[in-house]
Amino acid sequence: MKQTVRIAILMTFACAALAAFSSFAQAQRIDIGFGGGTTVAPDANSVSGAPSLKGGTFLGFSGDVLFWHNLGFGTEVFWRAGSSNCAVSLCGADSGVTYRPVLYNFNAVYSPKLAPHAYLELVGGIGALDTHYSECTGVGASCGGSELISSSNHFDVDLGGGVKLYLTKGFFIRPEARFYWVNNGTADYSSNHATRVGASIGYTFK
C-alpha cells in the first residue's frame, strides 16, 4: 500500500506540474477526477497458476490539461481496491501471498465538444503496470497484516476514451474505458492485456 501511496503522490505532483504549465500555455481547461470500475481480462492460467488481471474494484485519480484546440496531456493512476489471493499452484500452498495490481499512465488527450453539456474524451499514452505482490505477516486466515515482498513494473500502452456529461457548471460524470497492453505481462499474470471499464466524477476548471 505504501508504494501505491507513493505513486499517487507522484501523480499528484505530475498534475500540479501540468497545471503550472497550463498557466504558461493559457490552458482552455483543467479536469480532475476520481473514478471506480473493474477490469475485463482472460481468466487465471490453470496450467501455470498465473493469476488474472480480471475483476475486483479498481479506484483511481486522473487529471488533464487542455491547452490547444481541445488537445492536451493527462495522467492517471488506478489500483485494485482489495488484494486477491495468489493461486496455490503459483505461490505454493498456504503461502499467504496476495496481489494488488496498480496501473499508472501518462496520456495525450483530445476532448472536443459534442453538445452543450457533453464532451468526448479520447486518450492514448504509455505507463506501467506495478505487480504489487504481498505476503501475510500473521498466522491463520486473518493474517494480521501483510507486507510488500515483490513489485515489478511492466511497461504498458493504453488507449481508450469516455464522455464527460456535465451535471452542473464544472461538475461532470464520465463513463469511460481503457485498454491496456502490458509488455511481458505473462511473466506475472495470465495475459498481457486487460480492459478497465467504469466511470469517474470530476470538476473542470476554466
Q: Is 103 helix (H, G, I), strand (E, B) or coil?
A: strand
pLDDT of residue 3: 55
Better-scored residue on pLDDT, 189 or 128:
128
Element (H, E) at 24: helix 2-24
Ordered alpha helix ranges (H), 25-170? 88-91
Rounded CA gap, 129 and 58, in Å? 13
Mean pLDDT of 162-170: 93
Predicted TM-score (pTM) of this structure: 0.78
pLDDT tens digits along 90-126: 444 445 667 788 999 999 999 999 999 999 999 999 9
| Strand-pair partners of 162 | 121, 176
Rounded CA gap, 99 and 173, in Å? 30
| φ, ψ of residue 32 in degrees (nearest 5) | -130, 145
Neighbours of 194 (CB within 10 A): 26
Strongest mean pLDDT among 93-97, 137-141, 143-147, 168-172: 168-172
Domains along the chain? Answer: 2-205 (2.40.160.20)
pLDDT of residue 96: 61
Task: Decide if 168 contacts 137 (C-beta within 8 A).
Answer: no
Query: For the chain, percent helix, then strand, then coil, each to nearest 5?
Result: 15, 55, 30
**pLDDT exceeds cutoff 60 at 80:** yes
End-to-end CA distance of the chain: give it in Å, rounded.
Answer: 34
